[in-house]
Amino acid sequence: MTVNALYPDYTGQPRDGQERFHGGAVVYVSWARHLMFTNPYAFLVMPDLKVGDFVTTMLAPAYGPHPDWAKIDWASARWTSNGKPVTLDPAQTMGAAGVHHKMHLQLETPGLDGIGGSGI
């Protein structure tokens, strides 16, 4: 049973299918060991946006206030989704990199552990 309803075959209309986002996709991002950002963020991303531009135009304004942001070594930074590694090439578009609607991406930056190493 997928719902407890007064009549059989009740179905609900999802309110956040990709068709409702004017060609964009919602992408969630969190940055491990940096809980100054209290929760994952949601970004609306066009599929032809380059990964590198996603980082500089969308993530940098959001995460830039943290002193660790400027110290990120992008060569060693890793992305994961649901615990599995994801390869994001800065030259690729988000669509070509396989970033899909309502995907969660976690940024891991080894060596950077937040304010005073506290994970904040």
Partner 1 sequence: MSSTKKLGLREKYRLMTRGLGWDTTYQPMEKVFPYQHFEGIKIHDWDKWEDPFRLTMDSYWKYQAEKDRKLYAIIDAFSQHNGHLNVSDPRYVNALKLFLQGITLSEYSAHRGFVHLGRQFGGVGPRVAAQMQAIDEVRHAQTQIHALSHYNKHFSGFHNFNQMYDRLWYLSVPKSYFEDALTAGPFEFLTAISFSFEYVLTNLIFMPFMSGAAYNGDMATVTFGFSAQSDEARHMTMGLEVIKFMAEQDPDNIPIIQKWIDKWFWRGYRLLVLVAMMMDYMLPKRVMSWSEAWEMYFEQAGGALFEDLARYGFRMPKYADVSIKEKGRYSHEAWAALYSYGAAAGLHTWLPKQEEMDWLAEKYPDTFPDFYAKRLEHWRDMQQDGQRYYASALPQLCQVCQVPAWFTEPDDPHTLCKRETEYKGQHYHFCSDGCKDIFDNEPEKYVQAWLPTHQVLQGNCGGAELPDVLKWSGIDVGRDNMDFAGSEDERHWNQSIGERK
The contact set with partner 1 (CB under 8 A) reads 1-6, 10-17, 20-22, 24, 26, 28, 30, 32-33, 35-44, 58, 61-62, 65, 82, 100-104, 115-116, 118-120
What is the closest distance, in whole angstroms, from the C-beta atom of residue 46 to partner 1 in the complex? 12
Is the Cβ of residue 2 or residue 75 nearer to partner 1 in the bound state? 2
Contact 111, 36 (CB under 8 A): no
Residue 51: count other Cβ atoms within 10 Å of its Cβ. 20
Q: Cα dist. 46→24, 27, 93 in Å?
A: 4, 10, 9
What is the closest distance, in whole angstroms, from the C-beta atom of residue 54 to partner 1 in the complex? 12
* H/E element, 44: strand 41-45
Is the Cβ of residue 70 or residue 75 nearer to partner 1 in the bound state? 70
